[in-house]
Structure 1
Amino acid sequence: MKVVAYSIKSFEKEFLAKANQKKHDITLISNSLSLETAAYAEGKDAVVVFTNDDVSAPVVNRLAEMGIKYIATRSAGTDQIDKDAAASRGIKIANVPVYSPQAIAEHTVALALSLSRQLTRANTHSHNFDFKLDELIGFNFYGKTVGIIGLGHIGLAVAQIFNGLGCHVIGYDVMVPEDLKGIEAVPFNQLLKQADIISLHAPLNTFTAHIINAGSLAAMKNGVMLINTSRGALINTEDVLEALECGKIGYLGLDVYEFEKGLFFEDHQQDKVRDPLLTRLLEYPNVLITPHQGFLTHEALQQIADQTIRNLDNWQQDKCVGKACVCAKNCRAMDAINNPKI
């Protein structure tokens, strides 16, 4: 199969090469997919994309005009892809539904612990040979209530770690797993009111967009810790900034950002104009932001590459099997299953 893979970082190449074993003719380019760069897909059978690529209806239609039959994303989420447009043009879509949930879970807890123990501030002080303990008081996680929003593979992995820290873990999902070990399932509003730490692990769709807003923030405890390693648009950033200002949010850890497209994954140190909301967020000492790196472990990268190549293998063999493959005619039904209302 002839393929062009967009938004490829140098560190991905070895993992894809190991998974592919020269089975498919894959062109790797660093450019993100857009209307302008869609031309690189000329003469290909499939495109491989990532979370911040533009796979909107105009781009999907342009790809279809060039004969593209398949779109594979190297991510669990498919919210960047206009699935209705793909369905109308007979393009099949595949994702990586599960890859090392521990990678995201461990990053989630790392953000929480770093915020709690003031590690960023302490590190900066130490590099300046300032070893005072002022402003470094943290809190124990033992005995705290952690609220997990979204009880999929990652949410459950996060819960396991917090359980190990001695936390009381509560969780909310519209499709609660049958075997919840160490998690008390509660209604959404109850979770907001009870949790000392809230961690987001829901997919982004029309129902979950801005699930964290002025209303939900008002229901939370004063000084709550909020962590998001899922999708940036689950949070209304302007409302969160107001909550930081008034002290409603005591700690904020983000591995994703509502307006990260065209910003994250690249070096913007020399930009003369910077994103104003992100700039304001970074001014707070109780905010820790990482550049969408939760997936960035050797184990996760290999699993992502392996599943991406399996998706191409299945299409080449005229198969569309398992949760990874979203056949065009079933796009809406599969989207409803993978992205339930929260």
Structure 2
Amino acid sequence: MKVLIYSSKDFEIPYLKAANTEGLEVIYTRDRLTTNTAMKALGYDAISIFSADDASTNVLEKLHDFGVKYVALRSTGYDNIHLKTAEKFNIRVAHAPAYSPYAIAEHAMALLLALNRKIVRAHEQMKEQDFTLSSLIGFDLYRKKVGVLGTGAIGSVVVRLLHGFGCEIYANDLKPNLALHNQYGVTYLSKQEMQGLCDVLMVCLPLTSETYHLLDSDVISGMKDKSLVVNIARGAIVHTPAILDALDSGKLGGYASDVYDKESGVYFYDRRGEALKDSNLKKLIDHPNVVLTPHQAFATVEALEKIAETTFHNLNSWNTGKSPEYEL
């Protein structure tokens, strides 16, 4: 089997090479999969893509014409691939689920603490020898009401970490987790009940047609004044202009995110010296009540090892005529 790995990053290639224990013929390219780069897959049996790659209908049609039969995602989410089109063209798809919910959940807590305790601002002040505290006031997480949207693998770990801080935890999910209720006192509420109650809202949902722009101006208007939002799911779950309006009006106390709805082609690349064309992203970066990271929550040694192992498990299964358990 010949495999082309799109969007390969220098930090992940050693893990991918180590995981290729069955000697598949693999070529790495830094290029993202787009309608313009799909031609690179000509002559390959399989490709591997990351979350910023475009596997939409038009691209999949080209991949089919070029002979690609398999797509291995190096991510849990698969909103960037049109599964119905893949099925139509008999292109088999697998993902890398639950590679490290701890990596994502711990990063969510890092974002929350950095936002609440003004860590980034404090660091900048220290470099300027400004040792005043007037702009660095946060609040105790202890006994604060925190809402968790989505209590799957990642959301469940977030709950456990929040419990360690002594938070009152509320959650919303299509399938309430009774174990979280019994062990950590989680109270499941409707989104409407939760939004007006919580001091902090943690977004841990997959991106679907139902969750697209879930946090819009209507929802935000019903949230508790000065509450914080932390998004470690997908950028398009929030409506960025609505977030910015709420921050500017003072309705929201702060926003922290590891994701952005238009991050494709920007995140994961060195853009120093370039003018940032996305005005909303620039506003977020420059806003004093925002903390952003460039989709790095997954970037731990343990997660990278697991992603690589799962990716090659999927590829090796297909190569030996088997269906991997992570096939979509």
Counterpart of 1:123, as a letter, is H
Q: 1:244 aligns with which of 243, 247, 255?
A: 247
User: Map of 1:105-144 to 2, 5 A cutoff?
Assistant: 105-144=105-144
**SS of equivalent residue, structure 2 residue 169:** strand
CA deviation profile, 1:167-188 (whole Å, cap 9, x unmatched): 0111101122342231211111
User: Map of 1:161-310 to 2, 5 A cutoff?
Assistant: 161-180=161-180, 181-182=183-184, 183-310=186-313
Higher alpha-carbon deviation: 185-194 or 222-231: 185-194
1:15–1:145 CA distance, 2 compared to 1 (3 A)? same
Match of 2:327 in 1: 325
C-alpha distance in structure 2 between counterparts of 1:23 and 1:172, whole Å = 44
C-alpha distance in structure 1 between counterparts of 2:302 and 2:243, whole Å = 33
Counterpart of 1:5, as a letter, is I
**SS of equivalent residue, structure 1 residue 253:** strand
Match of 2:97 in 1: 97
- On the 8 A contact 2:115/2:290 being kept in 1, the answer is yes
C-alpha distance in structure 2 between counterparts of 1:168 and 1:33, whole Å = 43
C-alpha distance in structure 1 between counterparts of 2:98 and 2:285, whole Å = 31
CA deviation profile, 1:10-48 (whole Å, cap 9, x unmatched): 011110111112521111110111122112211111010
1:89 shift after superposition: 0.2
C-alpha distance in structure 1 between counterparts of 2:317 and 2:206, whole Å = 25
Match of 1:43 in 2: 43
- On the 8 A contact 2:318/2:324 being kept in 1, the answer is no
Counterpart of 2:247, as a letter, is L
Runs ≥4 residues deviating over 4 A: none
1:109 shift after superposition: 0.4
CA deviation profile, 1:230-265 (whole Å, cap 9, x unmatched): 100000001111111111110110100111111111
C-alpha distance in structure 2 between counterparts of 1:280 and 1:222, whole Å = 21
CA RMSD of aligned residues (A): 1.1
**SS of equivalent residue, structure 1 residue 203:** coil
Counterpart of 2:101, as a letter, is P
Higher alpha-carbon deviation: 248-257 or 32-41: 32-41
C-alpha distance in structure 2 between counterparts of 1:132 and 1:238, whole Å = 32
Match of 1:86 in 2: 86
C-alpha distance in structure 2 between counterparts of 1:305 and 1:321, whole Å = 15
Counterpart of 2:161, as a letter, is I
**SS of equivalent residue, structure 1 residue 313:** helix
Match of 2:75 in 1: 75
C-alpha distance in structure 1 between counterparts of 2:90 and 2:177, whole Å = 33
**SS of equivalent residue, structure 1 residue 278:** helix
- On the 8 A contact 2:313/2:324 being kept in 1, the answer is no
C-alpha distance in structure 2 between counterparts of 1:122 and 1:195, whole Å = 26
Counterpart of 1:196, as a letter, is D
C-alpha distance in structure 1 between counterparts of 2:312 and 2:285, whole Å = 38
C-alpha distance in structure 2 between counterparts of 1:287 and 1:115, whole Å = 7
C-alpha distance in structure 2 between counterparts of 1:320 and 1:236, whole Å = 38
**SS of equivalent residue, structure 1 residue 123:** helix
**SS of equivalent residue, structure 1 residue 129:** coil
1:272 shift after superposition: 2.8
C-alpha distance in structure 1 between counterparts of 2:195 and 2:322, whole Å = 43
C-alpha distance in structure 2 between counterparts of 1:81 and 1:307, whole Å = 18
CA deviation profile, 1:276-301 (whole Å, cap 9, x unmatched): 00111222211001000000100101
C-alpha distance in structure 2 between counterparts of 1:179 and 1:143, whole Å = 21
C-alpha distance in structure 1 between counterparts of 2:178 and 2:321, whole Å = 34
Percent identity (aligned): 37
1:106–1:187 CA distance, 2 compared to 1 (3 A)? same
1:55–1:240 CA distance, 2 compared to 1 (3 A)? same
Match of 1:315 in 2: 318
Normalising to structure 1: TM-score of the pair? 0.93
Match of 1:329 in 2: none
Match of 1:57 in 2: 57
1:28 is aligned to 2:28: yes
1:134 shift after superposition: 2.1
Give the paired residue count: 325
